Amino acid sequence: MELFDKIKALTEIQATSGFEGPVREYLKKRMIELGYQPEFDGLGGIFVTKTSKVADAPRIMVAAHMDEVGFMVSSIKADGTFRVVPLGGWNPLVISGQRFSLFTRDGKKIPVVTGGLPPHLLRGTGATPQMPAVSDIVFDGAFEDAAQAREYGVEQGDVIIPETETILAANGKNVISKAWDNRYGCLMVLELLEFLADKELPVTLIIGANVQEEVGLRGAKVSTTKFNPDLFFAVDCSPASDTFGDDNGRLGQGTILRLFDPGHIMLPGMKNFLIDTAQQAQIKTQVYMAKGGTDAGAAHLANEGVPSTTIGVVARYIHSHQTIFNLDDFNHAQNFLRAIVSSLDAEKVSQVKNY
């Protein structure tokens, strides 16, 4: 399957925080096809362990996350419309006038739109549009009233997830889709598992994907406790700033060296290892100073402390229906991850842990 086809398959899956099942099933099927036996943590994270034949081999964890941002129905109004609570971070300005799917408890998929206020209804009122609160945005499934919505199975607690088509940009170098944060990571770990299928390494690898990253890095706390790694590599997507007059995160400039975010500072040993590995493997990299977090923020505080980092790319307009990202950036990140896991051994791990 070509890279774009793999991206399309994963990004068009709809799965939000706490409801990662469709992505987990996709990963499980592919892992088994590649000859691995997946296992699960108590919240639904999925991982495979590739055990080294070397005695007392260091344990290295490589983890994406499966969830995309979405919403949960908090109330059903008398007119049949819904109000929601967000699952993950949303800018209210990107929510209105969009298509979504609502998933009921009995498995129905119901089309929903967010209501944008037409300019006609503002004329003559003297009102100035204000930034809406997410809780005030109207989600509309075109039902006649609340009773009809319930007849179709809609209940409080149902999830609402963006629905979009993944397309190739005109230049053939970029892709437009939802959920590259973090189906990027899911595809990265599958490609890594395929690359490693017939290889023996001096480290034991735990490779897979966590749940509920978008609502507080929850899955990573569970999985790092379960698998007890010596090092942790999150694989995640970060926001590009290049169209907003900022050079912190530019499309097409390679994988990122995420030196800082509000919940994680890269340790010196990890920094030296990543820079040396990138130079030796001729990987295009860019320094990135983040304003949000990844699972590395939870993992590095687990157990007795786990040196961690994020192997990432940037994308424009993440946490919206239409994200733009670069295919070459993905390839650089994949080659970087391959070089990292292929070069690690007990001595290198010891050096990385030298803070």
Active site amino acids: 213
Q: Please, what is the end-to-end C-alpha distance for the chain in angstroms?
A: 42
Please give the structure tokens belonging to residue 88.
Answer: 């993950």
Q: What is the dihedral of CA 176, 189, 33, 42, to 10 degrees?
A: -110
Whether cis (ω within 30° of 0) applies to the bond prior to 182 is yes
Q: How far is CA 354 from CA 73, 225, 294, 300, 344, in A?
A: 48, 22, 22, 14, 14
- Euclidean distance between CA atoms 161 and 239, whole angstroms: 20
Give dist(CA 251, CA 148) in Å, integer. 46
Judged by DSSP in three states, 163 sits in coil
Stated as kind and residue range, the H or E segment containing 260 is: strand 255-261
* Structural contact between residues 228 and 222, judged by C-beta atoms closer than 8 angstroms: no
